[in-house]
Amino acid sequence: MDDPRRILEAAAESRTAVEVLPRGASVLRGQLVRVERGGVVLAVAGSAPAAGTDLRCWLTVEGQSWTFEASVLRSGVSVPDRGQGGVLLGFIDGWRKTEVGGGQLLLEALPPTGGPVSLTQGEVRLVDLHPDEWLVSAPSGFSLVFVEGGALRLRLGVPGRAPMEVGAEVRELTRSHGHLLYRLGITAVEDQQRYGEIVAALRLALAL
């Protein structure tokens, strides 16, 4: 069984980069700098989350990506070379390997009802990907049919990066040769820079 403390200590020793998603806010980037008896200390770029903030963290150690939930116990903690720019995290829970660990990509459509639909495995496939538009193909007999003009969410991620969700709508539905071709327009992105970076990495990995 993987030992979270050992993994966190290894991450602190190598000043591993960490992505932090505070509840209801945008992703922050930082480094894990040390492990203490009461929790772990991160040096966070930009405005550090306040004490009491619940968040989720992602990091990669020895080629494997991990995620965990935590709460900010104290903000303004002293960290090397950054003065009082650190946060102490405690109540660490939900420790697990990330969905995008092990070199796998994450691409899913999240319809208003029902479970997630993979766009890389199974019958539904992503055929083209641009920052403002995705093209998705599905067999005409597939049980899930997205409604033209309807809204949905899309989840995407690459190894070593926190996955993210964006809002989308079905702008066009074309039926041809036993397949359905959906043109999905991206309508809501909370972090444009991060979204652009992940889309570029996915296009490279999928040769799109």
Residues 34, 25 contacting (CB under 8 angstroms): no
pLDDT tens across 150-200, in order?
Answer: 888 999 988 767 788 899 999 998 887 778 889 999 999 988 888 988 898
208 Cβ neighbours under 8 A, 6+ residues apart: 126, 128, 129, 202
205 three-class SS: helix
pLDDT tens across 129-150, in order?
Answer: 999 999 998 888 776 667 888 8
Backbone angles phi, psi at 124, to 5 degrees: -90, 130
Q: Is the model's pTM score more than 0.85?
A: no
pLDDT tens across 1-32, in order?
Answer: 478 889 999 999 998 888 887 876 767 888 99
Q: Which CATH number is associated with domain 106-206?
A: 2.40.10.220
Q: Which CATH number is associated with domain 4-97?
A: 2.40.10.220
Residues of each domain in the chain carrying CATH 2.40.10.220 = 4-97, 106-206
Instruction: Report the percent of the chain where pLDDT is more than 70.
Output: 91
Going from the C-alpha of 38 to that of each of 3, 5, 91, 116, the distances in angstroms are 17, 12, 9, 37
Count of residues in the chain: 208
Residues 41, 33 contacting (CB under 8 angstroms): yes
